[in-house]
Structure 1
Amino acid sequence: MTAVRAPIHEHVTDAIKAPDLVRLTPNTLLARFETLKVYAALGAVRTLLDRGTIHRGQTLIDSSSGIYALALALACHRYGLRCHIVASTTVDVTMRVQLEILGATVDQMPPSSDLRLDQERRVRRVRELLAERPDTHWMRQYHDPVHYTGYREFADLVAAALPGAALTVVGAVGTGASTAGLVLPLRRRGLDVRLVGLQPFGSVTFGSDHLSDPEAIIAGIGSAIPFDNVRHRLYDTLHWIDFRHATAGAVALLRDHAVFAGLSTGAAYLAAGWEAAHAPERTHLVIGPDTGHRYVERAFARHREAADPRVLRPRRITDLAELAPPWSVMAWGRAAAPERARPERPTATVLEDVP
């Protein structure tokens, strides 16, 4: 019997960056990540080093609600860079301790239930630090398309695993980099790829900022300020899902498939189930960006309260004026950004120029 050799990795980032592909139903798969944004951080840091934009020993700084902070700290650890994180109020003690032991310094914003205030405080603090320390490089994960580059590896993995499949990608929008970084290379190969985006209520990105979800802690999938890295014209369909429905999806994923994942994965699992029922001929790929550990107390501990996803249905809308919690779905049709979601100073990078 031939022995199978496990790969030996030179750094832990190589071991954790790629997802495990798990079949959930005959036409639904999950790309399960420990931390999705390792792809983004590694790709961005390598590219910036190669360009000479940054140098070893330099301090990289950015704002984060959680998983990008850890990914950037890991990339800095690998490439001999210093790291400073301006952390959202949602960053928990488990994440903060990891960052500090990895050598990152952390500024954490005070508690706030206002997403916009939290994000504006973080951006203001980043600007203060840049003024104090001119040699610091701002990674700008929300705006610099260099964060797309690392996801080419993910696209290669998906293309190899699902050759020729009519594919529907279902994932949280967040900064826009992971969905765009995956879908753009696949579409450039001439593949049939639809993109379904997930948003919380209260996010300006796809026009739900006039609504609110008092329980929302779905960190990283929406925004109170416009992001340059979101390419609205890539998305075919949008689902807006509240905290309770995302929790129902996450609990069901653990109960039915033994997968412990975060609330954005739960929301994507719920949306993918609805999408797959309406397009059974397509393969649906759910992006699961992180594990469920930071949602244990607020979400998983309440698993007995979680609704059965099989009885949940979205409100189908044709205009943003019709948006309503707890779950709405709309054919976006690769349309432009809503007016409020357009950055005041749009990026010079156009869609065709994205790496």
Structure 2
Amino acid sequence: MHNHIAEAIARPDLVRTGERLVCLRFETMKVVSALEAVRHLLRTGVIAPGDTLVDSSSGIYAYALALACHRFGLRCHIVGSTTVDHTLRTQLAVLGATLEQMPPEADLKLDQNRRVRRIGEILHAHPDWHWMRQYHDRVHYLGYRAVARQIARELDPSRLIVVGGVGSGASTGALATWLRTAAPGVGLVGVQPFGSVTFGSEHVADPDIIIAGIGSSIPFGNVAHELYDTIHWVGFGAALSGSVDLLRRHAIFAGLSTGAAYLAARWERDRCDRTVLFIGADTGHRYVDTVFARHAEAVPVTSLAPVEPATRAGLALPWSRMAWPAPA
């Protein structure tokens, strides 16, 4: 029996979605990293019960940190993106977290820079508050060790490829790191939106939206580029089709980043003899209107294929794939 709901949420499910294709399905993935990061900081005396933790978030991490603070008797302050919706704002308020939400900003880089600048102002006014630095502090790798052990108990890591949205770098980077301690040959495929600087697609704009949470307009210290073998850049339309197909074919209701990872995982599975595991980072509830209500727009995933350019200059919508490291 769990002592707190955060501990239950932190344990994912492994769901088979076809031959050699497995979904690592989370309710809210970043609870894994936030919970163990906070536990470690308490255990090492960096923070103490009653302290205030602060960080920037576009959504999932805000909820995860609020749950971790609730679990350990800490206060939580979030500087939130414009993408934080009414449901999450309400949950944070009831959990006792405080939220400063940035006003609408068309430029993602300006939104992220503004949030980081605001945290600097907060820390200047409250030097006793602890900045979690989810994008830069490797303490966020720790929680994925238990997940890697769970995967290794059910699948053969020596025959495994992991596929997932890169985002802060913690989930895919940590899983590959922990799995490779026992099986150095574990493959790692990162999924990115177009317009992200993390793997050099900032010159390609997606006319719909940038998939929140898996890319960035500023560099993240937790992204270890050398860990990745392949990168897929997936546009909104292709990810929508992946999300709808995953729900229609396998009844897994997951977010847009999961749809993109599913699309990339299917492609990799069909071109190797290994088991491919893709990360389902969250549920589909916050994408009901923007994705699932538009299910009629989804095209068959079998009709989609990535462009495989010689250099990053050739990256193109709706989907591109390159071995990493890739020439500019």
Shorter-normalised TM-score: what interval? Answer: over 0.9
Secondary structure at the counterpart of residue 127 of structure 1: helix
Q: Are 1:311 and 2:303 matched, yes or no?
A: yes
Question: Equivalents in 1 of 2:150, 2:299: separation in Å?
Answer: 34
Q: Aligned to 1:321, which of 308, 313, 326?
A: 313
The structure-2 alpha-carbon separation of the partners of 1:188 and 1:215, relative to structure 1 and needing over 3 Å to count, comes to same
- 1:39 is displaced (CA, Å) by 0.8
Match of 1:222 in 2: 215
Q: Are 1:204 and 2:211 matched, yes or no?
A: no
Partner deviation per Cα, 1:86-139 (whole Å, 9 max, x = no partner):
001111111111011100000001112211011011101111111111111000
TM-score, normalization: structure 1? Answer: 0.90
Question: Equivalents in 2 of 1:48, 1:284: separation in Å?
Answer: 34
Match of 2:148 in 1: 155
Match of 1:173 in 2: 166
Question: Equivalents in 1 of 2:171, 2:244: separation in Å?
Answer: 24
Secondary structure at the counterpart of residue 302 of structure 1: helix
Match of 2:79 in 1: 86
- 1:191 is displaced (CA, Å) by 4.4
Secondary structure at the counterpart of residue 77 of structure 1: helix
Q: Are 1:277 and 2:293 matched, yes or no?
A: no
Q: Aligned to 1:290, which of 282, 287, 290?
A: 282
Match of 2:39 in 1: 46
Question: Equivalents in 1 of 2:32, 2:82: separation in Å?
Answer: 24
Question: C-alpha root-mean-square deviation of aligned residues, in Å?
Answer: 1.2
Structural mapping, 1:177-196, within 5 Å:
177-196=170-189
- 1:318 is displaced (CA, Å) by 2.6
Partner deviation per Cα, 1:110-169 (whole Å, 9 max, x = no partner):
112211011011101111111111111000000000000011010110111113541010
Q: Aligned to 2:129, which of 118, 136, 140?
A: 136
Question: Equivalents in 2 of 1:40, 1:80: separation in Å?
Answer: 17
Question: Equivalents in 1 of 2:157, 2:174: separation in Å?
Answer: 19
Question: Equivalents in 2 of 1:183, 1:48: separation in Å?
Answer: 23
Equivalent residue pairs, number: 328
Contact 2:193–2:210 (Cα < 8 Å) also in 1? no
Q: Structure 1 stretches of 5 or more lacking a match?
A: 1-7, 339-355
Q: Aligned to 2:53, which of 49, 52, 60?
A: 60
Contact 2:157–2:179 (Cα < 8 Å) also in 1? no
- Which 4+ runs in 1 deviate beyond 4 A? none
Question: Equivalents in 2 of 1:259, 1:217: separation in Å?
Answer: 22
Contact 1:318–1:331 (Cα < 8 Å) also in 2? no
TM-score, normalization: structure 2? Answer: 0.98
Question: Equivalents in 2 of 1:178, 1:25: separation in Å?
Answer: 23
Match of 1:300 in 2: 292
Match of 2:324 in 1: 332
